[in-house]
Structure formats: C-alpha cells, structure tokens
C-alpha cells in the first residue's frame, strides 16, 4: 500500500480555484481530451490553465444565457438583502 500525503489547506485552495474557474467560464481548467491519467496529471502540474478570457470566448452560446441569468439573480438577491437591512 502506497503512502498518501495528508490533505492540506493547499489542496482545498487548489480545488476551490478549479471550482470557481468552472463556475465563472463554464469549462473546467483542464479537459481530459481522451488522454491517459498520468498525462493529464503531468499537464495539470506543469502547465498553467488557459486564461479565462480565452475560455470565455470559446464557451457555447447557451452558457452566455446561463451567465446572464446568474447575474440577474445575483442583482435581485443583493437588492432584496439590503432592502431588509
């Protein structure tokens, strides 16, 4: 049985970054594209993810609508929240 390093705050921070990246641009920071697991791991470790601005240009049209709905919902939530304060 192999030794596995304990999970640290750095692991959680990295995972949160990946989740936020996907939430904001609709695509994961790295896509598998049929590559083997060790190749994908090496790519993640040694290659920075593409800039979000470039990924946003390549997102499907349906994602633009979803981002718009999310923006409207956030504005309505903020307006309602501060109105009751």
Chain segment 59-85, per-residue pLDDT in tens = 666 566 666 666 666 666 666 666 655
In a domain, 65, yes or no: no
What is the share, in percent, of the chain residues with pLDDT greater than 90? Answer: 9
- Residue 15 falls within a domain, yes or no? yes
Cβ proximity of 44 and 30 under 8 Å: yes
Q: Is pTM beyond 0.85 here?
A: no
Distance CA 85, CA 80 (A): 9
- 71 domain residue, yes or no: no
| Residue 49 domain-assigned (yes or no) | yes
Structural domains of the chain, count: 1
Cα angle value 26/28/34 (rounded, 5°): 125
- Within a domain: residue 81? no
Is residue 68 domain-resident?
Answer: no
Share the mean pLDDT of the chain: 78
Domain that holds residue 48: 9-60
């Amino acid at each position: 049985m192999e030794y596995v390093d304990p999970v640290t705050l750095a692991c959680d921070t990295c995972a949160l970054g990946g989740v936020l990246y996907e939430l904001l641009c609709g695509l994961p920071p790295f896509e598998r594209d049929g590559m083997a697991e060790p190749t994908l791991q090496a790519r993640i470790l040694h290659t920075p993810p593409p800039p979000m601005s470039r990924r946003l240009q390549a997102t499907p049209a349906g994602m633009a609508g979803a981002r718009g709905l999310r923006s409207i919902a956030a504005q309505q939530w903020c307006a309602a929240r501060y109105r009751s304060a």
